[in-house]
Chains A and B, each alone.
Chain A
């Protein structure tokens, strides 16, 4: 792998592709690696995108959802008569009817509790759907919604996940007898021995808050039930994984082919959050069934904040065993993960998605994870950018700083001491992850150089001498991309997975379809449900290179339709998968098409296939360039003149390819699993100054080095890093989905849920190293989540470093002015 690494500090990339160069026998790759302008942009810049709310259907009606004002209560009665009689109202659907018309959603744990798309019998969080009104327009639907009377019997709420574990805690799901949705004690290596051999043992308690990467476009669903055929057709901004399609089908009690999902070309951001739209897809499908017409529901912002999805909040106890030289020997981690009122698929993936990369970039071999997944009276959770990684890297990197502090080592030195090196690649982690490539020390060296780390420490000394609170935070992380669907089954004990009749889970695949028309121009159909990641652009670059044509010759359509597109359980855009698996599917499809062109050209030229090459729009005989035919002529023949086609050649020119990874296996009996497929790396250095009077954290500088393998479009990758970093920074400094002790939701507007604007967003200095993945066809890896995983830890480290002289430790986020001010003032109060 070492030879494959190259270093560059990002300079503004060329906005126009270089002129195509031809060297030797093969076309030189020219489009991959260029920041070409995005193909998606013209429609989005002119207001001609197609988002779900832009779609309308004949006889379309509109829904409003009545939601629970209480965190925990029994529903005694509904009175919907007045609403039903309201002019313009077609139907009112209550939770009770939802319980009769649908089945509970399946979920991959053994705990037996029932989760429906609306409250059945009891409400368990503020904002839980209670009833749906379908009316001629949204205004009327909301008018009628206010006329519904629901009588509740209040029950004691519980919102704190540690308290929810106590014996006398209120129980959300009586059938369980407690609030535990899943518990696994996982052991890797020999943790006891590691702790016996340790020179130093440190233990800390960490609290990670609930926040959401919060897309600007809210959830949107149009559901249309055909009573004659029993078919549900749903337009939505669902983003996959399409395993959730199966979950929705089970709840609606239909076969998968009778539940058609259509996703338009444009989704207004998602960052994982729109995976969890599927309960609303089911709810609106039931509403359409009852109303007998298509129903549109556009979630409003308050609904989104209180009742869509977000990442878990968690309490974690982490203990580390360390040698005096800083070598990390073992980790014991107890995690109490708060998934809210219902453990909803794909949860408890928050806990297990990062299982293969649990140790991050460090060599430690002995790990214990004692994971409790707990239900409380908060909104159910789901995937959010970084999914599970920001939590573990926060805990991990805070501990690395504690070790440095305790052993009086520099935080960079402690990390360097423990890093997995390029020689170790491919590296199998104790938890079963297989890191495909990387050179973590080299990336660390680059960030040290870029940030002029030694000078930063001198700056800090000077600032401290002036009485200023100046801090430097470092955070590293291994960035997992392309989930192996099998990881989620770690939630089940090995005995369960070994049972006869149990279908083991593994895999991750993506498909692409390519077609060349009779004049040699190319159309590609993808179904990757992108949410702003520029897939059309990236596929254009790839296909242009593979076929030796220009981006202008390529048209990409990226829309999803379960009835039209080649898809599977793992389809979608989540877990940073496109740059690895989507690109590889596009490459494979283009190569298949190229093979067909050569095959047909060989017949037309009477030259063996292996002697032919494609160059500059022509197919040549290598040794006899006089013998050639244009690609256009080959394509023309394939479409127009079947008489010349050999028997083994299909008419037309199209190819579909499915790419999948080789190392996707189900968890082994020791609970080891390669939970992702490609693994990138990032390291951040954040420089902050804290204002002691206001408690405000000012970011002075930010350095971020990444290894995402081959970069296809540098500007797109840069945009992902910027966006990811700001989600992490927002979560660390401002954003929190907060509840009071009664389970009342406190942050139902953007006045309360504070998102960073351009003023708060720091400028980053970004650097790259490149360790191409040996597993993907272009060597690329995902970069979509990257800094969202490490930024919270970097902020925490920087603020801890700034406040260190006051004896303050940072084990809890967010570090909003109130919390920081309070910490500073408490430290001064004797």
Chain B
């Protein structure tokens, strides 16, 4: 049943938004529909497929399993915030170079999960990449292109440091 609206202040990709939301409004719906940031995709609405993954204060969260009110005061990064000044993030570059995507529906979630993975472990083994991405499902690639992309991005990002 509809509930009283609450005020939230959420910073998304560096811009701060003040909005009124129902307490039950999912963060994913808030991002997609209220802010019109359609790059965050919803694949299962129960926290398994990882397509809706975004970064909240630097950590991955499932935006389909959170209410927008829970993100009050937080800083969110969505796929739209990954490329800066018209330049792709090294992970985006690597996915492009290594055919790390097919339909692209799962890709935003994978990229944000991979961001967090490389932040914590800049030099992962293939096994560590596979385990690190096991919270995201892809039905097109058989994962090979994704794993290769993340490994390629890791070595490129390391070289740039």
Interface residue ranges, A against B (CB under 8 Å): 15, 35, 37-38, 40-49, 51, 53-54, 87, 139-140, 143, 213-218, 266-269, 271, 298, 300-301, 531-534, 715-716, 718-719, 721-727, 749-751, 755, 757-759, 761, 763-764
Q: Which of B82, B130, B135 has the most CB of A within 10 A?
A: B130
Show 17 A/B contacts (Cβ-Cβ < 8 Å), sorted by A: A44-B107, A46-B80, A47-B79, A47-B80, A47-B108, A216-B103, A266-B104, A300-B45, A532-B140, A716-B99, A719-B144, A751-B46, A755-B137, A757-B137, A758-B136, A763-B144, A764-B144
CA separation between A718 and B90, bound complex, in Å?
23
Query: Is the pair A268, B41 in contact by a Cβ cutoff of 8 Å?
Result: yes
Query: Is the pair A749, B105 in contact by a Cβ cutoff of 8 Å?
Result: no
Query: Is the pair B39, A723 in contact by a Cβ cutoff of 8 Å?
Result: no
Interface residue ranges, B against A (CB under 8 Å): 1-2, 22, 24-25, 32, 37-46, 48-49, 51, 78-80, 82-83, 88, 92, 95-99, 101-108, 111, 129-131, 133-147
8 smallest beta-carbon distances between A and B, as pairs: A47-B39, A44-B104, A532-B103, A268-B105, A722-B142, A532-B102, A47-B79, A750-B48
Question: With a CB–CB cut-off of 8 A, which chain B residues contact A139?
Answer: 2, 22, 24-25
Query: Is the pair A216, B139 in contact by a Cβ cutoff of 8 Å?
Result: yes
Query: Is the pair B139, A723 in contact by a Cβ cutoff of 8 Å?
Result: yes
> Closest CB-CB distance, A49 to chain B, in whole Å?
5
Query: Is the pair B102, A533 in contact by a Cβ cutoff of 8 Å?
Result: yes
B129: contacting residue among A37, A755, A758, CB under 8 A: A758
> Closest CB-CB distance, A733 to chain B, in whole Å?
14
Q: Across the two chains, which residue of chain B brings its CB closest to A730? A: B139
CA separation between A761 and B131, bound complex, in Å?
11
B134: contacting residue among A41, A51, A54, A757, CB under 8 A: A757
CA separation between A722 and B138, bound complex, in Å?
11
CA separation between A758 and B40, bound complex, in Å?
21
CA separation between A608 and B1, bound complex, in Å?
77
Given contacts A266-B105, A726-B142, 12 further A-B contacts (CB under 8 A): A15-B97, A35-B99, A38-B96, A45-B83, A216-B43, A719-B144, A722-B141, A726-B143, A750-B49, A758-B129, A758-B134, A761-B143
Query: Is the pair B146, A758 in contact by a Cβ cutoff of 8 Å?
Result: yes
Query: Is the pair B143, A266 in contact by a Cβ cutoff of 8 Å?
Result: no
Query: Is the pair A213, B139 in contact by a Cβ cutoff of 8 Å?
Result: yes
Question: With a CB–CB cut-off of 8 A, which chain A residues contact B40?
Answer: 47
Count A-B pairs with CB separation below 8 Å.
Answer: 182
> Closest CB-CB distance, A560 to chain B, in whole Å?
16
Question: With a CB–CB cut-off of 8 A, which chain B residues contact A749?
Answer: 44, 46, 48
Query: Is the pair B141, A216 in contact by a Cβ cutoff of 8 Å?
Result: no
B103: contacting residue among A35, A48, A268, CB under 8 A: A268
> Closest CB-CB distance, A783 to chain B, in whole Å?
13
B41: contacting residue among A15, A51, A725, A758, CB under 8 A: A51
The verdict on A41 contacting B104 (CB below 8 Å), with A47-B78, A139-B22, A750-B49 known, is: yes
Q: Which of B43, B48, B51, B104 has the most CB of A within 10 A?
A: B104
> Closest CB-CB distance, A50 to chain B, in whole Å?
8
Query: Is the pair A45, B101 in contact by a Cβ cutoff of 8 Å?
Result: yes
Query: Is the pair B131, A216 in contact by a Cβ cutoff of 8 Å?
Result: no
CA separation between A533 and B104, bound complex, in Å?
10
Query: Is the pair A216, B51 in contact by a Cβ cutoff of 8 Å?
Result: yes
> Closest CB-CB distance, B82 to chain A, in whole Å?
7
Question: With a CB–CB cut-off of 8 A, which chain A residues contact B88?
Answer: 42, 45-46
Query: Is the pair B102, A719 in contact by a Cβ cutoff of 8 Å?
Result: yes
CA separation between A444 and B122, bound complex, in Å?
42
Question: With a CB–CB cut-off of 8 A, which chain B residues contact A44?
Answer: 101, 103-104, 107
The verdict on A757 contacting B133 (CB below 8 Å), with A38-B96, A45-B111, A47-B80 known, is: yes
> Closest CB-CB distance, A215 to chain B, in whole Å?
6
CA separation between A216 and B38, bound complex, in Å?
16
Query: Is the pair A268, B104 in contact by a Cβ cutoff of 8 Å?
Result: yes
CA separation between A218 and B82, bound complex, in Å?
25
Query: Is the pair B83, A719 in contact by a Cβ cutoff of 8 Å?
Result: no
Question: With a CB–CB cut-off of 8 A, which chain B residues contact A15?
Answer: 97-98
CA separation between A41 and B44, bound complex, in Å?
23
CA separation between A532 and B139, bound complex, in Å?
10
A45: contacting residue among B24, B32, B95, B105, CB under 8 A: B95
> Closest CB-CB distance, A725 to chain B, in whole Å?
6
Question: With a CB–CB cut-off of 8 A, which chain A residues contact B1?
Answer: 143
Question: With a CB–CB cut-off of 8 A, which chain B residues contact A301?
Answer: 43-46, 49
CA separation between A723 and B144, bound complex, in Å?
9
CA separation between A757 and B49, bound complex, in Å?
9
Q: Which of B43, B97, B103, B106 has the most CB of A within 10 A?
A: B103
The verdict on A715 contacting B133 (CB below 8 Å), with A44-B107, A761-B144 known, is: no
Query: Is the pair A42, B133 in contact by a Cβ cutoff of 8 Å?
Result: no
CA separation between A801 and B135, bound complex, in Å?
33
Q: Which of B88, B131, B140, B146 has the most CB of A within 10 A?
A: B140
Question: With a CB–CB cut-off of 8 A, which chain B residues contact A755?
Answer: 137, 139
Q: Across the two chains, which residue of chain B brings its CB closest to A385? A: B139
> Closest CB-CB distance, B16 to chain A, in whole Å?
20
Query: Is the pair A532, B146 in contact by a Cβ cutoff of 8 Å?
Result: no
CA separation between A216 and B129, bound complex, in Å?
21
CA separation between A45 and B97, bound complex, in Å?
12
The verdict on A46 contacting B99 (CB below 8 Å), with A301-B44, A532-B140, A719-B141 known, is: no
Question: With a CB–CB cut-off of 8 A, which chain A residues contact B22?
Answer: 139
> Closest CB-CB distance, A477 to chain B, in whole Å?
18
Query: Is the pair B48, A722 in contact by a Cβ cutoff of 8 Å?
Result: no
Query: Is the pair B142, A761 in contact by a Cβ cutoff of 8 Å?
Result: yes
Q: Across the two chains, which residue of chain A brings its CB closest to B39? A: A47
Query: Is the pair B102, A534 in contact by a Cβ cutoff of 8 Å?
Result: yes
Query: Is the pair A758, B130 in contact by a Cβ cutoff of 8 Å?
Result: yes
Q: Which of A298, A716, A723 has the most CB of B within 10 A?
A: A723
CA separation between A801 and B121, bound complex, in Å?
40
CA separation between A802 and B13, bound complex, in Å?
53
Question: With a CB–CB cut-off of 8 A, which chain B residues contact A532?
Answer: 101-104, 140
> Closest CB-CB distance, A37 to chain B, in whole Å?
5
Question: With a CB–CB cut-off of 8 A, which chain B residues contact A533?
Answer: 102
> Closest CB-CB distance, A617 to chain B, in whole Å?
28
Question: With a CB–CB cut-off of 8 A, which chain B residues contact A724?
Answer: 142
CA separation between A40 and B25, bound complex, in Å?
32
Question: With a CB–CB cut-off of 8 A, which chain B residues contact A723?
Answer: 102, 139-142
Question: With a CB–CB cut-off of 8 A, which chain A residues contact B41?
Answer: 51, 216-217, 268
CA separation between A301 and B62, bound complex, in Å?
15
> Closest CB-CB distance, A646 to chain B, in whole Å?
45
Question: With a CB–CB cut-off of 8 A, which chain B residues contact A271?
Answer: 139
Query: Is the pair A269, B103 in contact by a Cβ cutoff of 8 Å?
Result: yes
CA separation between A3 and B139, bound complex, in Å?
37
Question: With a CB–CB cut-off of 8 A, which chain A residues contact B95?
Answer: 41, 45
A759: contacting residue among B51, B134, B141, CB under 8 A: B134
CA separation between A740 and B38, bound complex, in Å?
39
Question: With a CB–CB cut-off of 8 A, which chain A residues contact B32?
Answer: 53
CA separation between A37 and B108, bound complex, in Å?
18
CA separation between A353 and B72, bound complex, in Å?
54
Q: Across the two chains, which residue of chain B brings its CB closest to A787? A: B142
> Closest CB-CB distance, B76 to chain A, in whole Å?
13
> Closest CB-CB distance, A302 to chain B, in whole Å?
8
Query: Is the pair A216, B142 in contact by a Cβ cutoff of 8 Å?
Result: no
CA separation between A261 and B94, bound complex, in Å?
36
Question: With a CB–CB cut-off of 8 A, which chain B residues contact A726?
Answer: 142-143
Question: With a CB–CB cut-off of 8 A, which chain B residues contact A763?
Answer: 144
Query: Is the pair B139, A38 in contact by a Cβ cutoff of 8 Å?
Result: no
Query: Is the pair A46, B39 in contact by a Cβ cutoff of 8 Å?
Result: yes
Question: With a CB–CB cut-off of 8 A, which chain B residues contact A719?
Answer: 99, 102, 140-142, 144-145
Question: With a CB–CB cut-off of 8 A, which chain A residues contact B43?
Answer: 216-218, 268, 301
> Closest CB-CB distance, B125 to chain A, in whole Å?
13
Q: Across the two chains, which residue of chain B brings its CB closest to A726? A: B142
A757: contacting residue among B38, B98, B101, B143, CB under 8 A: B143
Query: Is the pair B143, A758 in contact by a Cβ cutoff of 8 Å?
Result: yes
> Closest CB-CB distance, A134 to chain B, in whole Å?
17
Question: With a CB–CB cut-off of 8 A, which chain B residues contact A298?
Answer: 42
Query: Is the pair A715, B99 in contact by a Cβ cutoff of 8 Å?
Result: yes
Question: With a CB–CB cut-off of 8 A, which chain A residues contact B2?
Answer: 87, 139-140, 143
